Structures are given as structure tokens and as C-alpha cells.
Amino acid sequence: MADTLHLAADPVELTAALVDVPSVSGDEADIADLVERSLREQTSLEVVRSGNAVLARTTLGLPRRVILAGHLDTVPVNDNLPSRLEDGVLHGLGTCDMKGGVAVMLNLAATTDDPRYDLTFVFYDCEEVEAVRNGLGRIERELRQWLDADLAIVCEPSNAAVEAGCQGTMRIELRTSGTRAHTARGWMGVNAIHAVGEALGRLEAYQARTVDIDGCVYREGLQAVKIAGGVAGNVVPDECVLTVNHRFAPDRTPEQAEQHLREVFEGFDFTVTDRSAGALPGLHTEAAQELVRAAGGTPVAKLGWTDVARFAALGMPAVNFGPGDPTLAHTRQENVPVNQIQQCREVLRRFLNHG
């Protein structure tokens, strides 16, 4: 491993160099050290370290500030290291999720000489694991003032398109109850598994909303993700638990989404086991409009839940914008087209610098 990275060089080579420093969640010390040393060579930046996160910012006194954020960790190695460049595509763990985006950020940190905005770069740890360990959450608790800005760009893979906002997610456990009996005398019992059939029927018939916000189209969903019930092979079961995942457009709060589910599952008991608010796209703000213009395309809705929602909750518009196909994330085959890395760097350079 090199002592420092040559941040101003080709971001594709930079991506490969980052991929070749393994950084599975919880094991990001090496890559954080490398990123920190490399950023400290940039005399124009104020740099702080927080655990295995590294933050850097300009302090030019400009009226507006943009955050660029990306996580340093990856999911576990799956026989897909080191990186390998082939026919214009860089293969390997983290190429797509999200060292291509991190490389673009590092390159911009070293090459943005005449910015229109003050810039804050956030490289953080433990995004791929349970939310309580997420480095961005720790930064929010410990370095809150570093997260003030007019726009946040999370460089997660988005096929180099501006993906705005994100949907909320909620999980519920719907529980039916009955009365046990021997199946030889089944009529003496009440079958809790039979009772869940009605809830499944409502799921099958459910018409999910499609919601247009700021030109971004969010397509909701309501899916059973788990079902479990049964006592023994000769017993009428007295309980069945159905777990349902609801993805809801950011025009609804989690409270409104829960209320909706109370209506859908009227007559059934359920508890909410997990919920995360969505994020409105916020594309009407000036900084966001400028980014959309620089990207030159039509922004699209982000459907999955990402850390964009954390920034949105802090009161700023937040978008995903990064190289790579998000559907390849977490697959053994993950890769990133080199031209998307270059395109993201160009779009962001155009956006961040004075014409």
C-alpha cells in the first residue's frame, strides 16, 4: 500500500487503488489512514478524523456550502479482489459500491481550485452494517456543525444520474391468533394460519401508489417478506406472524405510512418493528437546480433507502449522484464502467467550479 494516494491523477486509477485496500465494514482503519494522509497533503483543506471516518472542508467564507459524502467500507469479500480493468470496466469489490464515487470525491478535493461553494467532504465508515454503527450517525452526534450545508451529494452509484430524495421504509409484524387443537378434532380449534390468508389476499390485490414529486416518480411497494407459523404436524396452530415491508414515497411521513397500513390491514393486529423516513427530493432549491443542469439529464427518484435521508432530515436537499449501477452493488460481479467515473467527475467539476 502506498503511503499516500495521488489524488489529482486519473480517478479511475484512484478507484483501483482504493479497491485494492480491503475495507470491509469494521475494518476501515487502513483505508481511513490512507485517505487522511492524502487529504492532509492538500493545504487548502481543514481535515479531522473521527474513528475511521475522515472529514475535510474548505473555509473560503463563500455564501453556500455543498457536502459530498461517501462511505469507505464494503460488504464482505466474495472472491472479487483485487480490482481488474477489462474493456473499459473496472471489476472488483467496492468498484460500484462505492469506491468509484469516493475516488471522484478525492479527486475533486485535490483539484477544485476556484469553487462556487465552500465544500465539505465526508468519508465515513460502517455504512453497510446495522444503522446503529453507521459512521455518519456518529459524525452527526459528535461533529454536528460539519454537516451544515445547502446541498448534500451522496456519491452512491446512480448510473451517473441525479437520483433525488429517497423512499421511506417500514416493517410490520402482523400477528393472527387462534386456538390449538389436535388436527383429528380440528373443529375444536381456530387455525391462525388460515386466518392470515385474508391479509395475503389484501397484499396480492394491493395497488401501490405512484407519486410524482419535483418530476421524480416514486413507485411504492407493499411486500410480505417473511411468514412463520405452526406448532406440530398434528396441531391446529394458534399463532402466525407475517412480516411486511412497506416502501413509501417521501410525501408521507412514517406516521402517515403507518396510518395507511392500519387501513389496509383493518381488522388485523400489527406492530411496527422498523421504520425510516424517506427524503423529499428538494430539487426546487437553487443549488440542486444547478447540479441538475450540470448533470444535463432528468433527475429520477431514488427508490432504495440511502443516507440521503439522513441529510434530508438535517434540513438540506440531498441527492445520490455517483458512478455505477446500483443493482450490481453487493453482488460478486460488481463493477463500474470507467466512463461513468469520468462523467461524474466532469459533471461535478462543472457544477462546483466557476464557469
Does residue 89 interact with a copy of itself by CB under 8 A? no
Does residue 201 interact with a copy of itself by CB under 8 A? yes
**Integer Cα distance of 87 and 335 in angstroms:** 12
Active site residue 269: no
**Integer Cα distance of 124 and 216 in angstroms:** 28
Q: Provide the CB-side half-sphere exposure for 218 (13 A, CA).
A: 27
Does residue 212 interact with a copy of itself by CB under 8 A? no
Does residue 169 interact with a copy of itself by CB under 8 A? yes
**Integer Cα distance of 146 and 126 in angstroms:** 19
45 alpha carbon, distance to own chain's centre = 26
Does residue 332 interact with a copy of itself by CB under 8 A? no
Query: Which residues in 264-323 contact a copy of itself (CB under 8 A)?
Result: 274, 303-305
Taking the complex as a whole, the smallest distance from the CB of residue 230 to a copy of itself amounts, in Å, to 3
Residues 6+ apart with CB under 8 A from 110: 7, 8, 42
Q: Which of 167, 320, 340, 343 binds a copy of itself (CB under 8 A)?
A: 167
Closer to a copy of itself by Cβ: residue 247 or 345: 247
Taking the complex as a whole, the smallest distance from the CB of residue 278 to a copy of itself amounts, in Å, to 11
CA angle 11, 15, 20 (to 5 degrees): 150
Taking the complex as a whole, the smallest distance from the CB of residue 38 to a copy of itself amounts, in Å, to 34
Residue 241 φ then ψ, to 5°: -120, 125
Closer to a copy of itself by Cβ: residue 72 or 240: 240
Q: Which of 231, 296, 298, 315 binds a copy of itself (CB under 8 A)?
A: 231
How many chain residues touch a copy of itself (CB under 8 A)?
Answer: 51
Q: Which of 68, 98, 195, 213 binds a copy of itself (CB under 8 A)?
A: 195
Residue 284's identity, in one-letter code, is H
Residue 18 φ then ψ, to 5°: -70, -40
**Integer Cα distance of 124 and 138 in angstroms:** 10
Active site residue 86: no
Q: Nearest-CA neighbor of 243 among 264, 288, 212, 274? A: 274
**Integer Cα distance of 309 and 281 in angstroms:** 10
Instruction: From 123-131, 141-149, 177-185, 317-325, give the range in contact with a copy of itself by CB under 8 A.
Output: 177-185
Instruction: From 78-86, 111-119, 180-188, 279-287, give the range in contact with a copy of itself by CB under 8 A.
Output: 180-188
Taking the complex as a whole, the smallest distance from the CB of residue 334 to a copy of itself amounts, in Å, to 15
Distances (CA, A) of 271 to 88, 168, 205: 49, 17, 22
Residue 107 φ then ψ, to 5°: -65, -40
Closer to a copy of itself by Cβ: residue 10 or 239: 239
CA-atom Rg of the chain in angstroms: 23
Q: Which of 86, 113, 204, 263 binds a copy of itself (CB under 8 A)?
A: 204
What would the x/- binding string for a copy of itself be over residues 112 to 151, using CB under 8 A? Answer: ----------------------------------------
135 DSSP assignment: H
Alpha helices in 250-352 (DSSP H): 254-264, 286-295, 308-313, 338-352
Residue of 36, 97, 118, 127 marked active site: 127
Residue of 36, 73, 118, 290 marked active site: 73
Q: Which residues bind a copy of itself (CB under 8 A)?
A: 167, 169, 171, 182-187, 189, 191, 193-201, 203-204, 208, 219, 221-237, 240, 242-243, 245, 247, 274, 303-305, 327
User: Which residues does the annotation mark as catalytic?
Assistant: 73, 127
